[in-house]
């Protein structure tokens, strides 16, 4: 109980930090997707059977007029003596101009079960609310005169400058001692993003596929050193993102190198001290996007370990050791 209360306090504090600024951009991109698994796929919630509080900050395209900042906080909570877990995630996004702000909050329920002697699965449902807020200081053509902008109201009327909508997602993960694969669908209900009643602008569903492996140089299988090749593919409408890379751990030090297809090279460094995790990464643009520039990302996580009693303990512990413990 103390573990749960402490984790909730940290998570609520993280949310308060996130929402100091209200934010923008519909689909934030995190290079450290291994830190906050439930943002990528709700079925990754507490999959390693840790209670975890994590927080991320990303500054995209630093020094560019297209620059934006993204904040994310998550809580993953396995339930003792069951195969179930709950999670919560809050995301905020703001552009440099702060013209269109986006916030979201959702809850996750996940259920884990055994497939056979080597593989397990976890499925999850995610339900939440999103908010788009328009800072309506726009100046339209009918508000201009030869002397400049006028104080007259524009004929461009918006049904709402504060749009709130429900949002639903689902996912599945398959994993063994050394491998994991997952798929998720976000925005199942395709919520309307339009500020006007006269037309609808439905948010495209986002399809995510992720996977990887974990290999230890230690014959005893100890987790003080390993490497973990991994990938993630995300498809949404006409946009897509493919990242390939490797995550390394040597005692308390971690490092990573990823290539995001035709976009950026990502270099990451981190530190693991007992149940505390810290990581920094930088994106170096290699694409042709004129908006692209150097991006920075920082994340922290606190883990609270517990023993699972939902399955055969020896088998269960082996299966749960597949993923980097961030």
CB of 322 closer than 8 Å to CB of 214:
yes
pLDDT over threshold 70, residue 159: no
- List C-alpha distances in Å: 229 to 37, 262, 313: 16, 19, 27
As a whole number of angstroms, the distance between CA 190 and CA 192 comes to: 7
Q: What is the pLDDT of residue 122?
A: 96
pLDDT digits (tens, 9 = 90+) for 135-156: 655 555 544 554 544 555 554 5
Structural domain boundaries of the chain? 2-127+169-193+205-320
User: What is the band of 207 on the pLDDT scale with cuts at 50, 70, 90?
Assistant: very high
CA distances from 96 to 17, 59, 167, 225, 289 (A): 18, 10, 26, 40, 18
127 contacts: CB under 8 Å, gap ≥ 6 = 106, 107, 166, 167, 168
Residue (of 212, 213, 194) closest to 203 by Cα position: 194
CATH of 2-127+169-193+205-320, one of 2.40.160.40, 3.90.1150.10, 3.40.309.10, 3.30.70.1380: 2.40.160.40
For 282-297, write each residue's pLDDT tens digit: 988 886 665 556 889 9
For tokens 């056979």, the residue is 116
Q: Which residue has the tokens 């390394």?
A: 248
pLDDT tens-digit map of 242-298: 999 998 988 899 999 999 888 889 999 999 988 899 999 998 888 666 555 688 999
pLDDT of residue 311: 45
Which pair of tokens denotes residue 147?
């002397």
């Amino acid at each position: 109980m103390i573990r749960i209360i402490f984790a909730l306090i940290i998570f609520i504090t993280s949310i308060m930090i996130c929402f100091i600024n209200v934010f923008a951009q519909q689909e934030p991109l995190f290079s450290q997707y291994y830190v906050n698994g439930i943002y990528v796929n709700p079925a990754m919630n507490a999959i390693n059977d840790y209670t975890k509080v994590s927080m991320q900050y990303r500054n995209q395209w630093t020094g560019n007029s297209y620059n934006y900042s993204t904040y994310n906080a998550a809580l993953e909570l396995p339930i003792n003596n069951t195969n179930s877990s709950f999670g919560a995630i809050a995301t905020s996004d703001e552009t440099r101009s702060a013209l269109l702000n986006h916030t979201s909050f959702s809850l996750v329920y996940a259920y884990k079960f055994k497939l056979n002697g080597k593989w397990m699965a976890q499925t999850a449902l995610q339900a939440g609310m999103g908010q788009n807020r328009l800072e309506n200081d726009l100046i339209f053509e009918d508000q201009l005169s030869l002397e400049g902008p006028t104080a007259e109201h524009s004929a461009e009327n918006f049904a709402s400058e504060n749009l709130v909508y429900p949002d639903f997602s689902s996912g599945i993960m398959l994993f063994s001692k050394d491998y994991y694969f997952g798929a998720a669908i976000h925005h199942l209900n395709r919520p309307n993003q339009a500020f006007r009643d006269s037309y609808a602008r439905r948010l495209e569903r986002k399809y995510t596929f992720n996977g990887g492996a974990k290999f230890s140089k230690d014959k005893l299988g100890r987790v003080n050193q390993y490497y973990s090749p991994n990938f993630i593919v995300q498809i949404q409408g006409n946009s897509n993102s493919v990242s390939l890379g490797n995550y390394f751990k040597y005692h308390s030090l971690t490092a990573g190198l990823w290539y995001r297809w035709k976009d950026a090279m990502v270099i990451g460094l981190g530190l693991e001290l007992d149940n505390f995790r810290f990581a920094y990464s930088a994106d170096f643009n290699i694409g042709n996007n004129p908006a692209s520039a150097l991006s920075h990302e920082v994340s922290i996580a606190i883990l609270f370990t517990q023993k699972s009693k939902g399955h055969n303990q020896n088998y269960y512990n082996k299966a749960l050791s597949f993923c980097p413990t961030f």
